[in-house]
Amino acid sequence: MPAVIIRNLSEETHRALKVRAAHHGRSTEAEIRDIIEAAVRPAERVKLGSLLAAIGRDAELSDTDVEVLQQNRGKAPAEPMTFE
């Protein structure tokens, strides 16, 4: 698992992290992991599966339509898109 070293963190910030971690009942390292996860993977982000499902609903695809798409998936050779 990757590791990150944070240099030149002020004493005030480190102390605040320790207090915040204690308030949440976890280690300072666990608190920092949680803060980073929340920053780069916010709960309100749109997830690809949800987005694709919404597109399917908007296009009013039926279960039969989806089955046909699944059957033909990967059978046609891939060709790059052209914009001419």
Q: Which residue has the higher pLDDT, 78 or 9?
A: 9
List C-alpha distances in Å: 31 to 15, 42, 70, 79.
12, 16, 43, 47
pLDDT at 12 over 90: yes
Q: Sorting pLDDT into bands at 50, 70 and 90, what band is 22? A: very high
Q: What is the pLDDT of residues 66-83, one digit of tens each?
A: 788 788 777 777 778 888
Length of the chain: 84
List C-alpha distances in Å: 17 to 2, 6, 13.
21, 13, 6
Please name the residue that has the structure tokens 């070293």.
Answer: 5
Q: What is the pLDDT of residues 23-70, one digit of tens each?
A: 999 999 999 999 999 898 877 777 888 888 888 888 888 888 878 878
Q: Sorting pLDDT into bands at 50, 70 and 90, what band is 19? A: very high
Please name the residue that has the structure tokens 């998936």.
Answer: 73
Strands in the chain per DSSP E: none
